[in-house]
Amino acid sequence: DLNPADNPMADVIRGFTALGRYGEAEEVAAAVAFLASAEAAYVTGTQVHVDGGFTS
């Protein structure tokens, strides 16, 4: 089972994110859809972190 919410450290891990929660699959999918779209045609050479502020 890879559900992060079942991890004994789940509350600690959530505390490291600015949003204080795990992301939803739809939130990651929205970023992927944008990057695959024509609207992102000028986006190059960058990293897009979809992590709720975990790396901020």
> What pLDDT sits at residue 11?
87
> What pLDDT sits at residue 47?
94
53: left (phi > 0), else alpha (psi -120 to 50), else beta?
left
Concatenate the DSSP letters of all residues of 2-55 into one string. Answer: --GGGSTTHHHHHHTSTTSSPPPHHHHHHHHHHHTSGGGTT--S-----STTTT
> What pLDDT sits at residue 22?
86
> What pLDDT sits at residue 13?
85
Q: Which tens digits make up the pLDDT trace of 10-54?
A: 888 888 899 998 889 999 999 999 999 999 999 999 999 999 999
